[in-house]
Structure 1
Amino acid sequence: MSRPVIGITCYVEPAQFTVWDMTTALLPYAYVEHVARAGGQPVIIPPAGDPAELAGRLDGLIIAGGGDIDPARYGSTAHEQTGYVRKFRDEAEFGLMRAALEANLPFLGICRGLQVLNVALGGTLHQHLPEVVGHAGHSPAPGTFGRVPVRLSPALAEIYRDDRLLPAHYHHQAIDRPGHGLEVTARSEDGTIEAVELVGHPFALAVQWHPEADEDGPLFDALLTAAKRDD
Protein backbone atom coordinates (compact mmCIF):
# COMPACT_ATOMS: atom_id res chain seq x y z
CA MET A 1 0.00 0.00 0.00
CA SER A 2 1.39 3.43 -0.93
CA ARG A 3 2.27 5.93 1.74
CA PRO A 4 -0.18 8.82 2.23
CA VAL A 5 1.20 12.05 0.78
CA ILE A 6 1.50 14.70 3.49
CA GLY A 7 2.17 18.27 2.41
CA ILE A 8 4.17 20.47 4.79
CA THR A 9 4.42 24.22 4.31
CA CYS A 10 7.80 25.87 4.71
CA TYR A 11 9.76 29.06 5.27
CA VAL A 12 11.37 31.22 2.60
CA GLU A 13 14.35 32.95 4.21
CA PRO A 14 18.01 33.82 3.61
CA ALA A 15 20.15 30.80 4.45
CA GLN A 16 23.74 29.59 4.28
CA PHE A 17 24.70 26.08 3.19
CA THR A 18 27.99 24.68 1.86
CA VAL A 19 29.40 27.59 -0.20
CA TRP A 20 26.06 29.32 -0.82
CA ASP A 21 24.28 32.26 0.81
CA MET A 22 20.88 32.84 -0.81
CA THR A 23 17.12 32.94 -0.38
CA THR A 24 15.96 29.39 0.34
CA ALA A 25 12.77 27.40 0.80
CA LEU A 26 13.52 25.54 4.02
CA LEU A 27 11.98 23.50 6.82
CA PRO A 28 13.38 21.96 10.01
CA TYR A 29 14.04 18.34 9.08
CA ALA A 30 12.29 17.05 12.19
CA TYR A 31 8.95 17.61 10.46
CA VAL A 32 10.04 15.37 7.60
CA GLU A 33 11.38 12.69 9.94
CA HIS A 34 8.17 12.53 11.98
CA VAL A 35 5.94 12.23 8.93
CA ALA A 36 8.14 9.51 7.42
CA ARG A 37 8.36 7.63 10.73
CA ALA A 38 4.56 7.72 11.06
CA GLY A 39 4.19 6.14 7.62
CA GLY A 40 3.67 9.13 5.36
CA GLN A 41 5.44 10.50 2.31
CA PRO A 42 6.42 14.08 3.21
CA VAL A 43 6.26 16.73 0.47
CA ILE A 44 7.46 20.27 1.20
CA ILE A 45 5.14 22.98 -0.16
CA PRO A 46 6.74 26.39 -0.79
CA PRO A 47 4.56 29.54 -0.88
CA ALA A 48 4.80 29.91 -4.66
CA GLY A 49 2.29 29.63 -7.45
CA ASP A 50 -1.10 28.53 -6.09
CA PRO A 51 -0.59 25.90 -3.37
CA ALA A 52 -4.38 25.68 -2.92
CA GLU A 53 -4.47 23.70 -6.17
CA LEU A 54 -2.57 20.92 -4.39
CA ALA A 55 -5.29 20.22 -1.81
CA GLY A 56 -6.94 17.59 -3.98
CA ARG A 57 -3.64 15.80 -4.55
CA LEU A 58 -2.69 15.47 -0.87
CA ASP A 59 -3.77 12.93 1.73
CA GLY A 60 -2.98 15.28 4.62
CA LEU A 61 -1.58 18.73 5.37
CA ILE A 62 0.70 20.26 7.99
CA ILE A 63 1.01 24.03 8.25
CA ALA A 64 4.33 24.45 10.01
CA GLY A 65 5.76 27.09 12.31
CA GLY A 66 7.08 30.44 11.18
CA GLY A 67 6.84 34.19 11.55
CA ASP A 68 3.87 36.27 12.60
CA ILE A 69 0.71 36.70 10.54
CA ASP A 70 -0.01 40.17 9.16
CA PRO A 71 -2.29 41.66 11.89
CA ALA A 72 -4.39 43.36 9.20
CA ARG A 73 -5.85 39.93 8.49
CA TYR A 74 -7.66 40.03 11.82
CA GLY A 75 -8.36 43.76 11.92
CA SER A 76 -5.42 44.91 14.06
CA THR A 77 -2.40 47.14 13.66
CA ALA A 78 1.06 45.71 14.22
CA HIS A 79 2.44 45.58 17.75
CA GLU A 80 6.05 46.72 18.08
CA GLN A 81 7.04 43.12 18.86
CA THR A 82 5.25 41.63 15.84
CA GLY A 83 7.86 40.51 13.34
CA TYR A 84 8.99 38.24 10.52
CA VAL A 85 5.72 38.92 8.69
CA ARG A 86 5.84 37.38 5.22
CA LYS A 87 2.73 38.49 3.35
CA PHE A 88 3.44 36.13 0.45
CA ARG A 89 3.44 33.21 2.86
CA ASP A 90 0.22 34.43 4.47
CA GLU A 91 -1.43 34.59 1.05
CA ALA A 92 -0.32 31.09 0.08
CA GLU A 93 -1.15 29.41 3.39
CA PHE A 94 -4.54 31.04 3.89
CA GLY A 95 -5.56 29.88 0.40
CA LEU A 96 -4.25 26.40 1.07
CA MET A 97 -5.99 26.33 4.46
CA ARG A 98 -9.35 27.21 2.94
CA ALA A 99 -8.96 24.60 0.20
CA ALA A 100 -7.95 21.93 2.72
CA LEU A 101 -10.97 22.60 4.93
CA GLU A 102 -13.34 22.58 1.97
CA ALA A 103 -11.91 19.21 0.91
CA ASN A 104 -12.11 17.79 4.47
CA LEU A 105 -8.39 17.09 4.22
CA PRO A 106 -6.81 15.80 7.45
CA PHE A 107 -4.93 18.76 8.89
CA LEU A 108 -2.38 19.42 11.62
CA GLY A 109 -1.40 22.99 12.48
CA ILE A 110 1.82 23.60 14.40
CA CYS A 111 2.51 26.93 16.16
CA ARG A 112 1.97 29.39 13.28
CA GLY A 113 -0.31 26.73 11.77
CA LEU A 114 -2.70 27.07 14.71
CA GLN A 115 -2.77 30.82 14.21
CA VAL A 116 -3.43 30.48 10.47
CA LEU A 117 -6.38 28.17 11.21
CA ASN A 118 -7.75 30.52 13.85
CA VAL A 119 -7.49 33.69 11.77
CA ALA A 120 -8.83 31.94 8.65
CA LEU A 121 -11.96 31.14 10.67
CA GLY A 122 -12.43 34.71 11.89
CA GLY A 123 -10.47 34.57 15.14
CA THR A 124 -7.95 37.05 16.55
CA LEU A 125 -4.52 36.83 18.19
CA HIS A 126 -2.67 38.23 21.17
CA GLN A 127 0.30 39.84 19.42
CA HIS A 128 2.71 39.69 22.37
CA LEU A 129 1.87 37.05 24.94
CA PRO A 130 4.24 38.20 27.73
CA GLU A 131 2.09 41.32 28.10
CA VAL A 132 -0.94 39.08 28.65
CA VAL A 133 0.42 36.38 30.97
CA GLY A 134 3.22 38.32 32.67
CA HIS A 135 6.12 36.02 31.77
CA ALA A 136 8.22 34.90 28.79
CA GLY A 137 8.10 31.17 29.47
CA HIS A 138 6.49 30.41 26.12
CA SER A 139 9.55 31.82 24.33
CA PRO A 140 12.32 32.20 26.90
CA ALA A 141 15.24 33.14 24.61
CA PRO A 142 16.12 33.18 20.90
CA GLY A 143 16.52 29.62 19.63
CA THR A 144 15.48 28.12 22.99
CA PHE A 145 12.30 26.13 23.59
CA GLY A 146 10.34 26.76 26.77
CA ARG A 147 8.66 23.92 28.64
CA VAL A 148 5.27 25.17 29.82
CA PRO A 149 2.79 22.64 31.28
CA VAL A 150 -0.53 22.23 29.46
CA ARG A 151 -3.76 20.49 30.39
CA LEU A 152 -5.41 18.46 27.62
CA SER A 153 -9.06 17.82 26.86
CA PRO A 154 -10.23 14.19 27.02
CA ALA A 155 -10.10 13.89 23.21
CA LEU A 156 -6.53 15.19 22.97
CA ALA A 157 -5.54 13.18 26.05
CA GLU A 158 -6.52 10.03 24.13
CA ILE A 159 -3.84 10.84 21.54
CA TYR A 160 -1.17 11.53 24.16
CA ARG A 161 -2.43 8.92 26.66
CA ASP A 162 -2.18 11.58 29.35
CA ASP A 163 -4.16 14.67 30.29
CA ARG A 164 -1.06 16.70 31.15
CA LEU A 165 1.90 17.53 28.95
CA LEU A 166 5.18 19.44 29.14
CA PRO A 167 5.76 20.21 25.44
CA ALA A 168 8.28 22.43 23.67
CA HIS A 169 7.05 26.01 23.22
CA TYR A 170 8.46 28.77 21.07
CA HIS A 171 5.82 31.42 20.49
CA HIS A 172 5.18 34.99 21.56
CA GLN A 173 1.67 35.11 20.09
CA ALA A 174 -1.44 33.04 20.83
CA ILE A 175 -5.18 32.88 20.25
CA ASP A 176 -7.21 35.73 21.69
CA ARG A 177 -10.70 35.10 20.29
CA PRO A 178 -11.18 31.59 18.83
CA GLY A 179 -12.39 31.34 15.24
CA HIS A 180 -15.82 30.06 14.24
CA GLY A 181 -16.31 26.37 14.96
CA LEU A 182 -13.10 25.92 16.95
CA GLU A 183 -13.16 24.05 20.24
CA VAL A 184 -10.36 24.72 22.73
CA THR A 185 -8.71 21.39 23.59
CA ALA A 186 -5.68 22.47 25.65
CA ARG A 187 -4.61 25.37 27.83
CA SER A 188 -1.42 26.14 29.68
CA GLU A 189 -1.48 26.85 33.40
CA ASP A 190 -1.50 30.61 32.71
CA GLY A 191 -4.69 30.26 30.66
CA THR A 192 -3.14 30.48 27.19
CA ILE A 193 -5.03 28.53 24.53
CA GLU A 194 -2.62 25.84 23.39
CA ALA A 195 -4.71 23.61 21.12
CA VAL A 196 -7.94 23.72 19.14
CA GLU A 197 -9.99 21.35 16.99
CA LEU A 198 -12.51 22.21 14.29
CA VAL A 199 -15.88 20.79 15.29
CA GLY A 200 -17.47 18.62 12.61
CA HIS A 201 -14.29 18.12 10.59
CA PRO A 202 -12.96 14.53 10.30
CA PHE A 203 -9.50 15.60 11.55
CA ALA A 204 -8.50 19.25 11.94
CA LEU A 205 -6.27 19.76 14.95
CA ALA A 206 -3.81 22.54 15.74
CA VAL A 207 -1.39 23.06 18.62
CA GLN A 208 0.58 26.10 19.71
CA TRP A 209 3.56 24.04 20.84
CA HIS A 210 6.19 22.27 18.68
CA PRO A 211 5.57 18.50 18.66
CA GLU A 212 8.32 18.01 16.07
CA ALA A 213 10.88 19.00 18.71
CA ASP A 214 10.28 15.81 20.71
CA GLU A 215 11.23 12.25 19.80
CA ASP A 216 7.76 10.79 20.23
CA GLY A 217 5.20 12.09 17.78
CA PRO A 218 1.65 10.98 18.64
CA LEU A 219 0.13 13.94 16.76
CA PHE A 220 1.88 12.87 13.57
CA ASP A 221 0.69 9.31 14.14
CA ALA A 222 -2.87 10.59 14.56
CA LEU A 223 -2.63 12.65 11.36
CA LEU A 224 -1.39 9.63 9.39
CA THR A 225 -4.14 7.43 10.82
CA ALA A 226 -6.70 9.98 9.61
CA ALA A 227 -4.99 10.25 6.21
CA LYS A 228 -5.03 6.47 5.75
CA ARG A 229 -8.67 6.29 6.79
CA ASP A 230 -9.52 9.03 4.30
CA ASP A 231 -7.54 7.37 1.50
Structure 2
Amino acid sequence: MALVGITTYLERARWGVWDTEAVLLPAGYPRLVREAGGVAVLLPPDVAEAAGEAVGRMDAVIVAGGPDVGPEHYGQPRHPRTGPPAPERDTWETAVLRAALDSGTPVLGICRGMQLLNVLHGGTLLQHLPDRVGHDAHAPTPGVFGEHRVTPVPGTLLARVLPGPQTVPTYHHQAVDRLGAGLEAAAHADDGTVEAVEVPGARFALGVQWHPENATDPRLVEALLAAAADRSVRPTN
Protein backbone atom coordinates (compact mmCIF):
# COMPACT_ATOMS: atom_id res chain seq x y z
CA MET A 1 0.00 0.00 0.00
CA ALA A 2 1.07 3.56 -0.69
CA LEU A 3 2.72 5.57 2.09
CA VAL A 4 1.14 9.01 2.40
CA GLY A 5 3.03 11.57 4.44
CA ILE A 6 0.79 14.08 6.26
CA THR A 7 2.14 17.25 7.87
CA THR A 8 1.10 17.95 11.44
CA TYR A 9 0.48 20.63 14.03
CA LEU A 10 3.05 21.53 16.67
CA GLU A 11 1.10 22.61 19.77
CA ARG A 12 1.09 22.47 23.52
CA ALA A 13 -1.39 19.79 24.54
CA ARG A 14 -2.73 17.96 27.59
CA TRP A 15 -3.52 14.27 27.97
CA GLY A 16 -3.46 12.03 31.00
CA VAL A 17 -0.99 13.55 33.46
CA TRP A 18 0.94 15.38 30.71
CA ASP A 19 0.94 19.01 29.66
CA THR A 20 3.67 19.47 27.06
CA GLU A 21 4.50 20.28 23.46
CA ALA A 22 3.11 17.70 21.04
CA VAL A 23 2.68 16.99 17.36
CA LEU A 24 -1.02 16.69 16.57
CA LEU A 25 -3.26 15.75 13.68
CA PRO A 26 -7.05 15.38 13.56
CA ALA A 27 -7.92 11.70 13.17
CA GLY A 28 -9.92 12.42 10.01
CA TYR A 29 -6.72 12.72 7.97
CA PRO A 30 -5.27 9.24 8.56
CA ARG A 31 -8.78 7.78 8.47
CA LEU A 32 -9.37 9.25 5.01
CA VAL A 33 -6.03 7.88 3.78
CA ARG A 34 -6.83 4.45 5.22
CA GLU A 35 -10.28 4.38 3.64
CA ALA A 36 -8.76 5.31 0.29
CA GLY A 37 -6.36 2.36 0.55
CA GLY A 38 -3.16 3.99 1.81
CA VAL A 39 -1.05 4.09 4.97
CA ALA A 40 -0.64 7.43 6.76
CA VAL A 41 2.79 8.57 7.98
CA LEU A 42 3.05 11.70 10.13
CA LEU A 43 5.52 14.37 9.04
CA PRO A 44 5.94 16.70 12.05
CA PRO A 45 7.78 20.02 11.65
CA ASP A 46 11.49 19.50 11.13
CA VAL A 47 14.41 21.41 9.61
CA ALA A 48 13.85 22.35 5.99
CA GLU A 49 16.95 20.40 4.92
CA ALA A 50 15.22 17.14 5.91
CA ALA A 51 12.23 17.66 3.62
CA GLY A 52 13.75 16.14 0.50
CA GLU A 53 14.68 12.90 2.23
CA ALA A 54 11.31 12.68 4.00
CA VAL A 55 9.33 13.26 0.80
CA GLY A 56 11.59 10.85 -1.07
CA ARG A 57 10.42 8.04 1.18
CA MET A 58 6.73 8.80 0.57
CA ASP A 59 4.52 7.77 -2.33
CA ALA A 60 2.35 10.88 -1.87
CA VAL A 61 2.07 13.85 0.48
CA ILE A 62 -0.80 15.75 2.11
CA VAL A 63 -0.13 19.21 3.56
CA ALA A 64 -2.76 19.52 6.27
CA GLY A 65 -4.89 22.42 7.39
CA GLY A 66 -3.94 24.53 10.38
CA PRO A 67 -2.92 28.05 11.43
CA ASP A 68 -2.72 31.06 9.15
CA VAL A 69 0.34 31.31 6.91
CA GLY A 70 2.60 34.14 8.10
CA PRO A 71 1.87 37.22 5.92
CA GLU A 72 5.58 38.05 5.81
CA HIS A 73 5.87 35.15 3.35
CA TYR A 74 3.80 37.08 0.82
CA GLY A 75 4.95 40.58 1.64
CA GLN A 76 2.03 41.94 3.63
CA PRO A 77 1.65 43.42 7.13
CA ARG A 78 -0.27 41.33 9.65
CA HIS A 79 -4.04 41.88 9.66
CA PRO A 80 -5.63 42.23 13.13
CA ARG A 81 -7.63 39.04 12.49
CA THR A 82 -4.68 36.95 11.34
CA GLY A 83 -3.85 34.20 13.82
CA PRO A 84 -0.65 33.70 15.84
CA PRO A 85 2.53 32.87 13.92
CA ALA A 86 3.49 29.26 13.24
CA PRO A 87 7.02 29.68 11.85
CA GLU A 88 8.02 26.04 12.28
CA ARG A 89 5.14 24.88 10.11
CA ASP A 90 5.61 27.65 7.55
CA THR A 91 9.26 26.73 7.04
CA TRP A 92 8.80 22.95 7.10
CA GLU A 93 5.72 22.76 4.93
CA THR A 94 7.14 25.15 2.35
CA ALA A 95 10.13 22.84 2.07
CA VAL A 96 7.88 19.75 1.89
CA LEU A 97 5.80 21.29 -0.87
CA ARG A 98 8.88 22.35 -2.82
CA ALA A 99 10.39 18.87 -2.49
CA ALA A 100 7.18 17.21 -3.65
CA LEU A 101 6.84 19.51 -6.65
CA ASP A 102 10.51 19.16 -7.62
CA SER A 103 10.38 15.36 -7.40
CA GLY A 104 6.97 14.90 -9.03
CA THR A 105 5.58 13.33 -5.86
CA PRO A 106 1.77 13.62 -5.88
CA VAL A 107 0.71 16.26 -3.37
CA LEU A 108 -2.61 17.45 -1.98
CA GLY A 109 -2.85 20.67 0.02
CA ILE A 110 -5.84 21.03 2.34
CA CYS A 111 -7.02 24.49 3.49
CA ARG A 112 -3.78 26.00 4.85
CA GLY A 113 -1.94 23.58 2.54
CA MET A 114 -3.68 25.08 -0.50
CA GLN A 115 -2.88 28.61 0.67
CA LEU A 116 0.77 27.71 1.19
CA LEU A 117 0.90 26.22 -2.32
CA ASN A 118 -0.33 29.57 -3.64
CA VAL A 119 2.21 31.53 -1.58
CA LEU A 120 5.04 29.23 -2.72
CA HIS A 121 4.18 30.24 -6.30
CA GLY A 122 4.34 33.94 -5.47
CA GLY A 123 0.64 34.46 -4.79
CA THR A 124 -0.95 36.38 -1.95
CA LEU A 125 -3.72 35.71 0.55
CA LEU A 126 -6.75 37.68 1.63
CA GLN A 127 -6.16 37.71 5.37
CA HIS A 128 -9.79 38.02 6.46
CA LEU A 129 -12.25 36.78 3.86
CA PRO A 130 -15.40 38.42 5.34
CA ASP A 131 -13.79 41.80 4.50
CA ARG A 132 -14.18 40.81 0.82
CA VAL A 133 -17.35 38.73 0.66
CA GLY A 134 -19.35 40.36 3.46
CA HIS A 135 -20.38 37.16 5.28
CA ASP A 136 -19.03 34.40 7.54
CA ALA A 137 -20.34 31.37 5.62
CA HIS A 138 -16.83 29.96 5.08
CA ALA A 139 -16.31 29.68 8.88
CA PRO A 140 -19.72 30.29 10.42
CA THR A 141 -19.07 29.24 14.04
CA PRO A 142 -15.75 29.03 15.92
CA GLY A 143 -14.68 25.40 16.19
CA VAL A 144 -17.55 24.10 14.02
CA PHE A 145 -17.34 23.17 10.34
CA GLY A 146 -19.88 24.74 8.00
CA GLU A 147 -20.93 23.65 4.51
CA HIS A 148 -21.20 25.42 1.19
CA ARG A 149 -21.16 24.64 -2.51
CA VAL A 150 -18.07 24.65 -4.71
CA THR A 151 -18.05 24.35 -8.49
CA PRO A 152 -14.97 22.83 -10.18
CA VAL A 153 -13.62 24.58 -13.28
CA PRO A 154 -14.25 22.45 -16.40
CA GLY A 155 -11.13 20.88 -17.88
CA THR A 156 -9.15 20.84 -14.63
CA LEU A 157 -7.79 17.83 -12.78
CA LEU A 158 -10.22 18.59 -9.98
CA ALA A 159 -13.18 18.52 -12.36
CA ARG A 160 -12.11 15.07 -13.53
CA VAL A 161 -11.98 13.83 -9.93
CA LEU A 162 -15.11 15.67 -8.72
CA PRO A 163 -17.33 16.42 -11.70
CA GLY A 164 -20.06 18.96 -11.07
CA PRO A 165 -20.90 21.13 -8.04
CA GLN A 166 -20.10 19.68 -4.62
CA THR A 167 -21.25 20.51 -1.09
CA VAL A 168 -18.14 20.52 1.08
CA PRO A 169 -17.17 21.01 4.75
CA THR A 170 -15.56 24.40 5.25
CA TYR A 171 -13.67 26.25 7.95
CA HIS A 172 -11.44 29.11 6.81
CA HIS A 173 -11.34 32.87 7.20
CA GLN A 174 -8.50 33.41 4.71
CA ALA A 175 -8.39 32.69 0.98
CA VAL A 176 -6.41 33.17 -2.21
CA ASP A 177 -6.17 36.79 -3.27
CA ARG A 178 -3.64 37.02 -6.13
CA LEU A 179 -3.16 33.63 -7.79
CA GLY A 180 0.43 32.40 -7.85
CA ALA A 181 2.36 32.16 -11.11
CA GLY A 182 1.96 28.81 -12.82
CA LEU A 183 -1.19 27.90 -10.89
CA GLU A 184 -4.73 27.55 -12.20
CA ALA A 185 -7.90 28.17 -10.20
CA ALA A 186 -9.72 24.83 -10.18
CA ALA A 187 -12.93 25.61 -8.23
CA HIS A 188 -14.92 28.54 -6.89
CA ALA A 189 -17.54 29.07 -4.21
CA ASP A 190 -20.79 30.77 -5.20
CA ASP A 191 -19.40 34.08 -3.89
CA GLY A 192 -16.39 33.83 -6.21
CA THR A 193 -13.84 32.69 -3.62
CA VAL A 194 -11.12 30.47 -5.12
CA GLU A 195 -11.71 27.05 -3.55
CA ALA A 196 -9.04 24.99 -5.32
CA VAL A 197 -5.79 25.53 -7.19
CA GLU A 198 -3.64 23.15 -9.20
CA VAL A 199 -0.42 23.00 -11.19
CA PRO A 200 -1.37 22.37 -14.83
CA GLY A 201 0.61 19.55 -16.39
CA ALA A 202 1.70 18.04 -13.07
CA ARG A 203 0.78 14.43 -12.36
CA PHE A 204 -1.05 15.52 -9.21
CA ALA A 205 -0.38 18.87 -7.51
CA LEU A 206 -3.67 20.14 -6.16
CA GLY A 207 -4.89 22.24 -3.26
CA VAL A 208 -8.44 22.50 -1.96
CA GLN A 209 -9.71 25.14 0.45
CA TRP A 210 -12.23 22.83 2.11
CA HIS A 211 -11.73 19.88 4.48
CA PRO A 212 -12.26 16.46 2.84
CA GLU A 213 -10.99 14.79 6.02
CA ASN A 214 -14.17 15.99 7.71
CA ALA A 215 -16.42 14.25 5.16
CA THR A 216 -16.96 10.73 3.85
CA ASP A 217 -16.06 11.22 0.16
CA PRO A 218 -12.70 9.49 -0.51
CA ARG A 219 -12.37 10.48 -4.17
CA LEU A 220 -9.69 13.16 -3.72
CA VAL A 221 -7.37 10.87 -1.80
CA GLU A 222 -8.19 7.92 -4.07
CA ALA A 223 -7.06 10.10 -7.00
CA LEU A 224 -3.91 11.06 -5.07
CA LEU A 225 -3.12 7.38 -4.51
CA ALA A 226 -3.85 6.54 -8.15
CA ALA A 227 -1.33 9.19 -9.19
CA ALA A 228 1.18 7.70 -6.75
CA ALA A 229 0.64 4.24 -8.22
CA ASP A 230 1.06 5.59 -11.74
CA ARG A 231 4.28 7.32 -10.69
CA SER A 232 5.66 4.06 -9.25
CA VAL A 233 5.31 2.21 -12.56
CA ARG A 234 8.70 1.89 -14.22
CA PRO A 235 9.14 0.83 -17.84
CA THR A 236 10.66 -2.60 -18.36
CA ASN A 237 13.14 -3.51 -21.06
TM-score (norm 2): 0.93
Q: Which residue of 1 aligns with 2:161?
A: 159
In the alignment, the residues of structure 2 paired with residue 56 and residue 144 of structure 1 have an alpha-carbon distance, to the nearest angstrom, of 35
Provide the rounded CA distance (Å) in 2 between the counterparts of 1:219 and 1:19: 38
> In the alignment, which residue of structure 2 is the partner of 1:32?
30
Equivalence for 1:220: 221
Question: Residues 7 and 62 of structure 1 are in contact (CA less than 8 Å); yes or no, is this contact kept in structure 2?
Answer: yes
Q: Deviations over 1:75-96 (max 9, x none)?
A: 1010000013201110111111
CA distance in 2, matches of 1:77, 1:5: 38
| d(CA) in 1 for partners of 2:205, 2:199 | 6
Unpaired runs of 5+ residues, structure 1, are none
Q: CA deviation at 1:151?
A: 1.0
Equivalent in the alignment of 2:139: 139
Cα distance in 1 for residues equivalent to 2:62 and 2:144: 22
Cα distance, 1:55 vs structure 2: 1.8
Post-superposition offset of 1:127? 0.3
Structure 1 residue 38, shift from structure 2 partner: 1.1
Shift in Å, 1:44: 0.4
Q: Which residue of 1 aligns with 2:66?
A: 66
Show the 5 A alignment for 1:95-114: 95-114=95-114
**Counterpart residue type for residue 169 of structure 1:** T
1:22 is displaced (CA, Å) by 1.4
Q: For residue 82 of structure 1, what is the aligned residue in structure 2?
A: 82
Write out per-residue CA displacement over residues 43-63 of structure 1, whole angstroms, 9 at most, x where no aligned residue. Answer: 000002323331211110000
* Structure 2 SS opposite 1:148: strand
**Residues of 1 paired with 2:84 and 2:137: CA distance?**
20
Q: Does 1:7 align with 2:5?
A: yes
- State the partner residue of 1:22: 20
1:163-198: per-residue Cα shift (whole Å, max 9, x none)? Answer: 111101100000001111111110001110000110
Alpha-carbon distance in structure 2 between the residues aligned to 1:158 and 1:95: 28
Describe the SS at the equivalent of 2:198. strand
**Deviation at residue 36 of structure 1 after TM alignment:** 1.3
Residue ranges of structure 2 left out of the alignment (5+ in a row): 233-237
Shift of 1:31: 0.5
Q: Once the two structures are aligned, what percentage of the paired residues are identical?
A: 48
Which residue is equivalent to 1:197? Answer: 198
Alpha-carbon distance, 1:6 to partner: 0.7
Asked if structure 2 preserves the Cα contact closer than 8 Å seen for 1:52 and 1:97, the reply is no
Distance 2:13 2:141 in 1: 21
Write the mapping of 1:150-189 to structure 2, written as runs, cut at 5 A: 150-154=150-154, 155=156, 156-160=158-162, 162-189=163-190
The number of residues matched between the two structures is 228
1:15, CA displacement in angstroms? 1.3
Separation in structure 2 between the aligned mates of residue 34 and residue 99 of structure 1, nearest angstrom: 23
List structure 1 segments (4+ residues) > 6 angstroms apart after TM superposition. Answer: none
1:55 maps to 2:85: no
